[in-house]
Amino acid sequence: MSILDEVQGDLRDAMRAGDKSRVGALRLVLSELQKAAKEGSDDELAVLRRERKRRVEAARAYRDGGREDLAATEEAEGELIAGYLPAELSEAQLGAIVAQAVRDSGAQSAKDMGQAMKSAMAVVDGRADGRRVSALVRAALAG
């Protein structure tokens, strides 16, 4: 079962339950998945990651603007989208991946951070935020 089919099923269930906020969020996700499929992209996970990132950034912007109500809505949509994504890596798992990437890339200093990041992000494959990976790579190269 593809993610698109799963979202469509969840949308039908939310409509039957009368959950308006969930219906709205699922319709947006469904629309983006259908648009990507129409454009020839088969990477549903990339679409979901992009949409989740948009929600997180929007929530941060709303919070900075003092709009807690809108930030909470965006965060709820982001959590809903995250439910369709593979589980995030734990700090220990991510630390092990970063340590291996630093060793494999031969990175020695902050100048070599790009090589280590490229190697680490290939293994992480979207199961962790790039900021988390960057912070761990930076820490590993610093000492």
Per-residue model confidence as pLDDT tens digits over 14-36:
999 999 999 999 999 999 999 99
Main-chain dihedrals φ then ψ at residue 103, nearest 5 degrees:
-65, -50
Total length of the chain: 143
Could you tell me the two tokens for 133? 């990976």
Q: Which superfamily, per CATH, for 3-82?
A: Uncharacterised protein YqeY/AIM41, N-terminal domain (1.10.1510.10)
Q: What is the mean pLDDT of residues 114-142?
A: 85
Place of tokens 């319709």: 27
Residue range 91-142 forms a domain whose CATH class is: mainly alpha
- At 95, the amino acid letter reads G
Place of tokens 């709820």: 76
Res 104 pLDDT > 90 = no
